[in-house]
Every structure is written in C-alpha cells, then in structure tokens.
A and B are shown apart, each in its own frame.
Chain A
C-alpha cells in the first residue's frame, strides 16, 4: 500500500508540473503581476523594477518559469501585493487551518446527512419519502451556493427578530406531516408521530414570545481565530461562527451526495447476496444497515474524496458570504486585488490537495471494500 501511494504521488508530479506551467503562463504572462504595485503611490518604481527582475518577468517565459519554479521549491513564493508585501506563502499558510476546520466539519455533517437521507430513500425506492427527498435534492442542486448562504443569513436574522421558536415549530410540523404521510399504514408509531409533532408545534407556538431571539446572531467572521491558543478553537463564539457556513456547505454537498449514495444503496439492495439474505428471512432493516450500507460505502468515499480536494480552495463562495478567513476568501481577495503570487500559490496548493485527497479516498475505499484493487482504473 505504501508503495502504491508513493507511486501515485510520484505519478502526479508530471501533472502538477504541467498545471504549474499553464497556470504560470496564464497568471504571469497573460495577466500583469506588478500592475497592482505600480498603482500604489508609496511603492517606489525602482522597487517594482527590482521585483520584475527578481521574478524574471523581463526575460522570456521559460527563464521566468524557471525562476518561479526554483523560488517555489525554496519556499519563496514571491511578494504578496496586498498583506504589506510579505511573502505569498505567509497568508496562504495562515489561512489553511481555518479552511481545514470548515472543510472537515462540513464533511462530517454532509456525510452523515447524506447517509441518513440515502437510507431513508432506499428503504422504499419510488415511495413517497424517496420522491420528496429526490425533489429536494434537485432543488438543492439548482440553488447557487451563495443563495443558500444568503437565505440562511436572512433566516437567522428573521429568527433574531421574531424568536427562534420557529425551529421547534417547524420540526413539530414536519413530524406531524411525516405521521400523516404514513397514515394509511396505521399503527401506534403513526399516531405517536402525529401527536408528538402536533404537541411540539403547539408548545412552540405557545411559548413563542418567551423563546424570543436574544439578538445574538452570528453572520460574519472577518476575525482570525488563533489556532495557537486552544481556548479559541473550542470557544462558543468560534463554534457559533461556524454554524451557518457549515450548514451552507452541508446543504450543497447533501444534494449531490445523498442521491449518489441512494443509487449505490438501491443497487446493493438488489444484489445477489442481499437477495439471498432476504430469502433467509433477515429483517429489511438489518439488510439495509448491515449488508446494503456496508457494501455501498466505498463509492461514496471516492466521491467525497473528489469533492474534498475541490472544497480545499473551492469553498470560495461560502467563505466569501460568511467572511470566513480561509483559503477561498484569500483567493477571492487576491483575485480582486490582482495579487498574482498569492493566487499562484493557492492554485498549486489546491492541485496538490486534490492529488492527496483522491489518493486518500482510494486508499480508504480499498480498506472498506476488499474487492477494490488498488491501481485498477474503473472504465
């Protein structure tokens, strides 16, 4: 396995080199890296010229690329036009913890949610729950990420002004509706669902005034939490700031992951071993959890790995909407300020992250499913 991992990582190096060359040509040759510096009145022209010479921008592209590459390998990623002219690697490295935190939390929440939704759908494919969840997934897919974020913000504000009793109220309503949907099947569970839902909704409505908002809605961050002090990381304040961005990313991921996992589950439930187990008289619930779920985790892990690399720098929109100080926001700010060195650094770090995430996902899938052979490419 170690050998396989090493071969995969080595095999990715030529790809990364090609990526860096294309990115270099686009960023340093098509765009002008020092345009921004020339506009700042306090930057002396001779300093700009020194930078141009240092980065090899006045020489042909292959010499310039070589200058960039040798600098990149040495850890000198070029001056950041913003951030008071420190090396580009500094703001990038500083933004990584925040990104990792948001990404991993969102990953955990979305994966758990996707599994729950997929299990509910796959219990009876084509049933009412499956149809409803499928429709919601389509809606989720069609909604732009920033719209999700903005709607969550508006909802949070509404709750601040009108009380958060709306949450238990909606939950009660949903429970009651779920009970009504299975009314035809009857049974004590159905009655209990309806009664509990109605009671919860009524209770929330009765206490609406008391459950009022305390005015503490957390929308924007902007602030850098220190990852050196442990108290900061687990403080209530910090976690509060994470709720809405994590929810945004989770909803966006959920729409895609849950449908995929559902398809895999349905396929697994129709497979021979599961049908044999069903014929032996195992209860459907156990079939779903012990057999279906177990064999269908691999594909989801691979998909999550593909998305994870993209989330690393790709959560640009979520981080922008909530001012979360991660790589995505840094990339957006760098792009708006034409801070080329920072943008280039983020491109390279992201590409590397994609390679590592895909490899990790393949290894995890192989660990989960002994049928998967490492190194074989599915058609």
Chain B
C-alpha cells in the first residue's frame, strides 16, 4: 500500500484526527502565506483607525496604534508555531534518546537520569519559566524554545523509558541479543520502533503544551518581547483591558485554541492508529499555567 493510500485509510478511520491535521495545516499555511493572504503589515500604524472593533477593512479590528490585528495574528503565528514545533522536536529527541538509554542500560545510568527528571519536576514548570525569563531578561524565540524544551522532556523520557523496559524483555529482543546484535543496533532497530508511536503521539501534545505555555508567559508580560517578535501570546499582553477591547484578546486566543486543539486531535488519532496496545491509562500531560 502506498503511503498516500495508507494515510487516507487512517484518516477515514479517525475523522477527528484528520480534521485536526487539516486545521493545523490550514493555520500553518495561513501564517506562512501571511502578507500574500492579507496585505496590511503587522506593524503598519494607522492613526485614523485606532482601537477599532472588527469591520470590513479590519476583520479582527485594530490595535492601539491602528495596526491591523489580523495581520498581527498571522505574523505572530509564525513565531508561535515555530516555538511549538521547535520545542516538541528538541524535547522529543532528547527525551526519547535519554529514555531509551535509561530503559536499555538500567542501573546507574537509569537512576541518574530518573533523578534528573525528578529535579525538573520538583518546581512547577511555569515557575521555572518565570525564573528563566528573569535570568535572560527579555526572551527571544530561541531562548523560549530552549527553556520550554528543557522543561518538556521528562514526560517523553518516562514514556520512552517505560516502553524500553517493556520491550527489552520480549522474546524477539532476546533473540536479537542471542544472535549477537550490539546494544546500539537493538536500541535503534527494536526498542526505538516499539516506542515511536506513543512518543510521536506525546510529541504532538508537546506542541500544544509549548504554545500554551508561551502564550501564558507572554500574556503576563514576561515572555517574548513584542518589539522584537510578535507571538500569539504577546499580542494578548494587554488583556487587562480585554473588557473594553475583546477583539485584541479573543482573535489571537482563538488561534491558540485552534492550534492546540488540532495538535491534541492529531495526538489522539496517532495513538489510536499506531499504538492501540499501549497502556490505556497514562499520566496525562499537564497544563503548565493554571
């Protein structure tokens, strides 16, 4: 079966996941197209149209200096999506690699790495984010990705470790070991493929969690500097006066919700399609910023 046909079959079986993927793709395309789709510049000031509600000329309304909110949302989406994807990628690579290592080697390596995850989890992630934002001053996109990834890897580590612990006792792995396969080969050929579906599902959730965390941090005014880079989060910084200007919060917020929802739907579908035998109950990924 061609990969395309297989994807279609999965989509037919998991319509919610397919809808999530389409939603994500649509948002990503809109943000990438940006100005081609909606010409006004994100920082274009228009003193004649300050603080206006949604209208035909400005479907999402205008900001304090008359900037078009739709253009700002599309531009902010680039950074927000980059943060979500970058964080998930980094955290998945680190978490899966360390988790497989810990699960395969066991012993002291495992104990040390597990201790490390406890260390990361002992202070609530959002508090750590605030501390990091104090340490680096105003964050850029890269600092945000690094900080978020540093906090995101422990759940992925635990998942990969648990999977490796389960898999390494299975007969086919034992057979491979008896046939003389080296550790690297067993991890790469047997443990990694066994862990991959669950890890992939969790990675999709990590995208949502990272975008949500960045938006919360920027909402507090501690995240990415809006002078340098627009994100969905820092577009909503002025939400203290949302009551008077709801469009400035609700439209970027809707994009955050849609992205996180799409990622969660994809995660559920990936899990249902590729890892139906994984333990049904797992510790859910928590939100960072209650």
Contact = CB atoms under 8 A, between A and B. Distances in A.
Interface of A: 12, 15-16, 18-19, 23, 26-27, 30-31, 138-139, 141-147, 150, 153-154, 157, 219, 249, 252-253, 256, 259-260, 263-264, 266-267, 299, 303, 306-307, 309-318, 320-321, 331-332, 335-336, 338, 340, 343, 346-347, 350-351, 354-355, 379
Nearest to B254: A147
A49 to B, nearest CB: 22
12 contacts: A12-B122, A15-B118, A143-B253, A144-B212, A146-B239, A263-B281, A299-B281, A310-B286, A314-B290, A332-B130, A335-B134, A336-B221
A23 B219 contact: no
Given A138-B264, A138-B265, A263-B280, A336 B222 contact: yes
A355 B135 CA distance: 25
Interface in B114-136: 115, 118-119, 121-127, 130-136
Contacts of B258: 142
B71 to A, nearest CB: 21
B149 interface: no
Given A15-B119, A260-B281, A266-B280, A141 B287 contact: yes
B256 A144 contact: yes
Given A146-B239, A253-B290, A256-B284, A19 B122 contact: yes
Given A143-B257, A313-B124, A26 B287 contact: no
Interface in B220-265: 220-222, 236, 239, 242-243, 246, 249-250, 253, 256-261, 264-265
B290 A145 contact: yes
Given A153-B242, A320-B220, A335-B222, A138 B124 contact: no
B286 A307 contact: yes
Contact of B135 (A31, A252, A306): A31
Q: Which of A19, A142, A314, A338 lies at the interface centre, i.e. has the most chain B CB atoms within 10 A of its CB?
A: A142
A332 B283 CA distance: 29
B83 to A, nearest CB: 14
A331 B130 CA distance: 8
A314 B289 contact: yes
A347 B124 CA distance: 9
Contacts of B127: 313-314, 316, 331, 346-347, 350
Nearest to A14: B115
A117 to B, nearest CB: 14
Contacts of A138: 261, 264-265, 268
Given A249-B290, A338-B134, A379-B165, A147 B243 contact: no
Contact of A379 (B162, B220, B289): B162
Given A154-B242, A336-B221, A336-B222, A144 B253 contact: yes
A146 B131 contact: no
Contacts of A144: 212, 215-216, 219, 253, 256-257, 289
A257 to B, nearest CB: 8
List the 8 shortest-distance A-B pairs measured between CB atoms, nearest first: A142-B260, A30-B135, A310-B124, A142-B261, A26-B135, A314-B124, A263-B281, A147-B253
Contact of A318 (B256, B265, B290): B290
Contacts of A256: 284, 286-287
Contact of A27 (B135, B221, B253): B135
Given A147-B249, A350-B123, 10 more contacts: A15-B119, A141-B260, A146-B239, A147-B256, A219-B243, A249-B290, A252-B290, A267-B281, A321-B239, A336-B220
Nearest to A25: B135
A234 B187 CA distance: 60
A314 B126 contact: yes
B290 A335 contact: no
B165 A354 contact: no
B220 A351 contact: no
A375 B286 CA distance: 24
Interface of B: 115, 118-119, 121-127, 130-137, 162, 165, 208, 212, 215-216, 219-222, 236, 239, 242-243, 246, 249-250, 253, 256-261, 264-265, 268, 280-281, 283-284, 286-290
Contact of A264 (B261, B281, B287): B281
Contacts of B268: 138
A23 B131 contact: yes
B212 to A, nearest CB: 5
Nearest to A153: B243
A351 B135 contact: no
A376 to B, nearest CB: 14
A288 B265 CA distance: 28
Given A144-B212, A252-B290, A316 B264 contact: no
B107 to A, nearest CB: 15
A260 B121 CA distance: 20
Given A142-B260, A142-B264, A340-B134, A317 B124 contact: no
Contacts of A299: 281
Contact of A252 (B119, B126, B236, B287): B287
A64 to B, nearest CB: 15
Contact of A354 (B115, B122, B236, B290): B122
B257 A354 contact: no
Contacts of B118: 15
B162 A146 contact: no
A138 to B, nearest CB: 5
A317 B219 contact: yes
Given A253-B290, A310-B124, A139 B261 contact: yes
A18 B268 CA distance: 37
A146 B240 CA distance: 10
A314 B288 contact: yes
Contacts of B250: 147, 150
Contacts of B290: 145, 249, 252-253, 307, 310-311, 314-315, 317-318
Contacts of B219: 144, 146, 317
